[in-house]
């Protein structure tokens, strides 16, 4: 059994704060009011935006990062684009202006930052992880604080009281005050820590140990996905590969805020075939969580109990979670260009097929606008093609060939409907209204 020796450092000693620039305390200054602030946009991991979409897209700008990208960009409500890359020299964390593509600032952090999406709050402060640390920068690139963590943080989320929720790839759950970097609740470990009192004295593993395994998931990377948070109840859904297990479990945690804040486990589902392999996605009302298993079956589970409501097989394993709209439409694709785009309706105890595009096999998860337009990247033969799809009937509204060398690692929608694409080869591409 592998383990990681992690020590809870007192909050005041843990914070290396330079300043708490920008924004006061309170949820209104933390939770983003627009853009695509996290890896899958929002706390639900819904891959849906608050901005309206564009029916006509054209190339605006492309910026090479100088290295490969392992996670998509995050987009603040003011349009600031933040992204990381695995570069040999120079910066590996970048910030660009949406309107021009001009680099606002960049800096160099430890290498594992290249696997993390920077998360933005409403003030355009960003929160990003590196090997053994969690950092915050303001919109001008000034460091606000840094705290040590065990492992490498996955992309962060926010709780209902405005705290930052960060789960590392080792399974350490951190609840952090975004203004100060101080812990808002005791550390919680999803993976038990062997200790001296149990007759074990396991040396601490390097904080980047097992990070490459996060692209497929294994015991070396217990938490390989992005948690989902129901901000109405502060229930947290996360996938965890327990020591000695042969697959990942889907685990529900509960955060209780206030003076006696704590994180505790509610339930776990550890028998999905092949394990839970994609980031969990919550329905708009928080009652259902959707996750793919390792055999290509999409499961809908009750978030209160973990009981299955329905499952639907798609034949091959998926690398991308579905996009889930506020009215219960699910846009599903394998994410690797091998399966068609399918729209399903969740009717409670089963699914209803709405439409299917056999000619459109997306890479990644579609990004859906607030007015029902889905932005999709698919193979157009000689080039990748960005396609705008009306989610009501599945019909294409617009197509735009992409001048891109690599496949997309993720997509997002900007505050004015811009389509933002990050490729694995390290290009950031922005499409917008040509007028």
Res 16: pLDDT: 34
> Which residues does the chain have with pLDDT short of 50?
1-29
Res 30: pLDDT: 58
Tokens of 428: 């950031």
Tokens of 362: 């997306």
Res 9: pLDDT: 36
The residue among 235, 234, 294 whose CA lies nearest residue 270 is 294
Res 310: pLDDT: 97
Helix (H) or strand (E) holding 14: helix 11-14
The 3-class SS string of 380-393 reads: CCCCEEEEEEECCC
Q: Residue 81: helix, strand or coil by DSSP?
A: strand
Question: Which residue is associated with the tokens 């919680």?
Answer: 188
CB crowding 93-127: b at 16 or more within 10 Å, else e:
bbbbebeeeeeebbbebbbbbbbbbbbbbbbbbbb
* Structural domain span for residue 276: 11-432
Tokens of 426: 């390290």
Res 34: pLDDT: 85
Residue 382 contacts by C-beta under 8 Å, 6 or more apart in sequence? none
332, 342 contact by CB (below 8 A):
yes
Handedness of CA 377, 378, 383, 386 (dihedral sign): negative
Domain count, the chain: 1
**What's the DSSP call for residue 109?**
-
Question: Which residue is associated with the tokens 């000689």?
Answer: 382
Please indicate, yes or no, if residue 1 is contained in any of the structural domains.
Answer: no
In whole angstroms, give the CA distance from residue 106 to residue 104: 7
Res 403: pLDDT: 85
Please indicate, yes or no, if residue 420 is contained in any of the structural domains.
Answer: yes
Please indicate, yes or no, if residue 5 is contained in any of the structural domains.
Answer: no
Count of Cβ atoms closer than 10 Å to residue 65 Cβ: 26
Please indicate, yes or no, if residue 4 is contained in any of the structural domains.
Answer: no
In whole angstroms, give the CA distance from residue 405 to residue 410: 14
Res 329: pLDDT: 97
Q: Residue 420: helix, strand or coil by DSSP?
A: strand
Res 202: pLDDT: 66
Question: Which residue is associated with the tokens 């075939």?
Answer: 273
Question: CA 217 from chain center: how many Å?
Answer: 15
Q: What angle do CA 329, 333, 337 make, to 5 degrees?
A: 155
**Residue 265, beta-bridge partner list:** 253
Please indicate, yes or no, if residue 253 is contained in any of the structural domains.
Answer: yes
In whole angstroms, give the CA distance from residue 298 to residue 284: 17
Long-range contacts of 316-321 (CB under 8 A, 24+ apart): 317/274, 317/277, 317/292, 318/277, 318/278, 318/292, 319/277, 319/278, 320/278, 320/362, 320/364, 320/365, 321/40, 321/45, 321/47, 321/278, 321/279, 321/280, 321/281, 321/290, 321/291, 321/292, 321/365
Please indicate, yes or no, if residue 20 is contained in any of the structural domains.
Answer: yes
**What's the DSSP call for residue 13?**
H
Residue 195 contacts by C-beta under 8 Å, 6 or more apart in sequence? 5, 201
Please indicate, yes or no, if residue 198 is contained in any of the structural domains.
Answer: yes
* pTM of the predicted protein model: 0.91
Please indicate, yes or no, if residue 3 is contained in any of the structural domains.
Answer: no
Q: What angle do CA 207, 153, 367 make, to 5 degrees?
A: 145
Q: What is the CATH number of the domain that holds 420?
A: 2.130.10.10
The residue among 260, 251, 253, 262 whose CA lies nearest residue 235 is 253
Res 31: pLDDT: 60
Tokens of 251: 């685990």
Sheet holding 172-176, edge to edge: 157-158, 164-167, 172-176, 188-189
Tokens of 11: 């909050």
Question: Which residue is associated with the tokens 């409501």?
Answer: 309
Res 217: pLDDT: 76
Tokens of 252: 């529900």
254, 264 contact by CB (below 8 A):
yes
How far lies 111's CA from each of 207, 226, 410, in Å? 11, 19, 19
Tokens of 348: 């409670």
């Amino acid at each position: 059994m592998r383990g990681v020796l992690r020590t809870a450092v007192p909050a005041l000693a843990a914070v290396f704060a330079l300043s708490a620039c920008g924004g006061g305390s309170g949820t209104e200054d933390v939770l983003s009011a627009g853009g695509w602030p996290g890896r899958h946009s929002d706390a639900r991991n819904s891959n849906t935006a608050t901005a309206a979409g564009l029916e006509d897209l054209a190339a605006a700008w492309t910026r090479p990062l100088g290295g490969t990208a392992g996670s998509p960009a995050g987009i603040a409500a003011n349009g600031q684009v933040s992204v990381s890359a695995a570069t040999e020299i120079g910066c590996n964390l970048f910030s660009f202006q949406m309107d021009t593509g001009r680099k606002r600032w960049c800096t160099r952090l430890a290498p594992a930052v290249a696997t993390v999406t920077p998360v933005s709050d409403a003030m355009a402060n960003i929160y990003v992880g590196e090997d053994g640390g969690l950092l915050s920068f303001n919109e001008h690139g000034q460091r606000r604080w840094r705290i040590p963590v065990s492992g490498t943080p996955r992309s962060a989320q926010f709780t209902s009281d405005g705290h930052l929720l960060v789960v590392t790839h080792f399974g350490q759950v951190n609840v952090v005050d975004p203004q100060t970097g101080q812990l808002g609740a005791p550390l919680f470990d999803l993976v038990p820590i062997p200790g001296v009192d149990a007759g074990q004295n396991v040396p601490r593993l390097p904080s980047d140990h097992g990070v490459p395994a996060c692209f497929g998931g294994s015991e070396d990377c217990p938490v390989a996905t992005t948690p989902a948070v129901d901000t109405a109840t502060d229930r947290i859904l996360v996938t965890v590969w327990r020591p000695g297990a042969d697959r990942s479990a889907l685990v529900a945690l509960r955060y209780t805020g206030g003076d006696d804040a704590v994180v505790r486990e509610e339930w776990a589902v550890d028998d999905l075939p092949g394990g839970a392999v994609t980031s969990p996605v919550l329905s708009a009302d928080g009652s259902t969580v959707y996750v793919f298993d390792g055999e290509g079956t999409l499961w809908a589970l009750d978030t209160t109990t973990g009981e299955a409501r329905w499952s639907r097989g798609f034949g091959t394993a998926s690398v991308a979670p579905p996009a889930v709209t506020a009215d219960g439409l699910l846009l599903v694709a394998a994410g690797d260009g091998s399966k068609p785009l399918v729209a399903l309706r969740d009717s409670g105890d089963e699914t209803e097929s709405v439409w299917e595009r056999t000619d459109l096999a997306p890479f990644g998860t579609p990004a859906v606008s607030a007015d029902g337009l889905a932005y999709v990247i698919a193979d157009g033969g000689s080039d990748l093609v960005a396609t705008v799809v009306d989610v009501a009937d599945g019909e294409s509204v617009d197509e735009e060939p992409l001048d891109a060398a690599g496949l997309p690692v993720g997509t997002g929608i900007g505050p004015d409907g811009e389509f933002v694409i990050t490729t694995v080869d390290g290009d950031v591409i922005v499409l917008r209204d040509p007028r």
